[in-house]
């Protein structure tokens, strides 16, 4: 029973595959949107195609002072965030840990974890003061099932899942909900980003199989985000039917 509609939804990484799908779905429900991204042209194009009141924020989520300033400067109509979707994130590289680029590791941790925690910390007090709110964090199956070359990306998503669950402990009795969304393989620019523009390598990830789409993930996010206020979805794990959790690796000499 979908008996709740968040008034104002803030989506980070709104210019990417998932974020754009979330924006369109929540716009379809008539929610006001705060769209956060790094690419002003893409933000403007997305907002122009939506028929709900929309405020765009061009910011790198890792830039804490800029994020703080942007949130403090939200127009009054958009200031009471009902639903924060922490979606901005990325994987960089899939080489073994011992051949990894440490700069990539830092970017993943700074984006997927530090920035997500800071954004949450900035938005949460207002939600608690208003006695309503919902934080939906985009984690991943990578946070539960490690795979070769996943190292820091997998660990960064385990942080997201555990942070989400731990927040629940503090928020009991506040009326604020928290949900961890944990998708498996979904075709977006994710792999193009991971393989730094190597389109052939990225395409191989999705070749000869049927990955989920960003819309499929939006289905789960919108469902969790529109349930009645007494109902908290702690976590949702979703995969394509063609994907399963991997077996443990064994080296044989």
C-alpha 108/C-alpha 63 separation (Å) is 14
Phi, psi of 72 (to 5 degrees): -65, -25
In the complex with ligand 8X3, which residue's Cβ is closer, 139 or 226?
A: 139
Q: Which of 193, 236, 238, 239 is close enough to bind ligand NDP by CB under 6 A? A: 193
Q: Which stretch binds ligand NDP (CB under 6 A): 88-96, 98-106, 118-126, 166-174?
A: 88-96
With contacts defined by CB under 6 A, how many residues of the chain interact with ligand 8X3?
A: 5
Q: Which of 33, 84, 154, 185 is close enough to bind ligand NDP by CB under 6 A? A: 185
Q: Which of 36, 61, 136, 185 is close enough to bind ligand 8X3 by CB under 6 A? A: 185
In the complex with ligand 8X3, which residue's Cβ is closer, 142 or 233?
A: 142
Sequence-ordered alpha helix ranges (H) in 29-179: 40-48, 64-72, 102-108, 116-130, 151-171
Residues within window 108-167 making contact with ligand 8X3, judged by CB under 6 A: 140-142
Q: How far is the CB of 153 from ligand 8X3 (least distance, A)?
A: 6
Joined together, the tokens standing for residue 43 give: 């933000």
- From first CA to last CA, the distance across the chain in angstroms is 56
Sequence-ordered alpha helix ranges (H) in 29-150: 40-48, 64-72, 102-108, 116-130
Residues within window 7-66 making contact with ligand NDP, judged by CB under 6 A: 13, 15-19, 37-39, 60-62
C-alpha 80/C-alpha 128 separation (Å) is 11
Task: Sort strands 8-12 and 54-58 into parallel, antiparallel or unpaired.
Answer: unpaired
Task: Name the DSSP letter for residue 212.
Answer: B
153 is catalytic: yes
**By the criterion CB under 6 A, which residues form the site for ligand NDP?**
13, 15-19, 37-39, 60-62, 87-90, 111, 138, 140, 183, 185-186, 188-190, 193
């Amino acid at each position: 029973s979908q008996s709740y509609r968040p008034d104002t939804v803030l989506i980070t990484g709104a210019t990417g595959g998932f974020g754009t799908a979330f924006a369109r779905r929540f716009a379809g429900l008539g929610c006001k949107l705060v769209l956060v991204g790094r690419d002003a042209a893409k933000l403007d194009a997305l907002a122009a195609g939506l028929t709900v009141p929309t405020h765009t924020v061009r910011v790198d989520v890792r830039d804490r002072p800029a994020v703080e300033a942007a949130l403090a400067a939200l127009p009054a109509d958009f200031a009471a965030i009902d639903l924060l979707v922490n979606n901005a994130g990325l994987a960089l590289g899939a080489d073994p840990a011992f051949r990894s680029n440490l700069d990539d590791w830092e970017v993943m941790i700074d984006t997927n974890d530090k920035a997500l925690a800071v954004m949450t910390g900035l938005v949460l007090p207002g939600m608690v003061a208003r006695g309503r709110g919902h934080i939906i964090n985009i984690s991943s199956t990578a946070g539960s099932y490690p795979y070769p070359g996943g190292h820091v990306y997998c660990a960064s998503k385990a942080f997201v899942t555990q942070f989400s669950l731990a927040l629940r402990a503090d928020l009991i009795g506040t009326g604020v909900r928290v949900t961890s969304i944990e998708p498996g393989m979904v075709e977006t620019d994710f792999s193009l980003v991971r393989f730094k523009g190597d389109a052939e390598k990225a395409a191989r990830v999705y070749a000869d199989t049927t990955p989920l789409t960003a819309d499929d993930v939006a289905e789960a996010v919108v469902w969790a985000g529109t349930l009645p206020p007494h109902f908290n979805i702690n976590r949702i794990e979703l995969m394509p039917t063609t994907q399963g959790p991997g077996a443990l690796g064994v080296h044989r000499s």
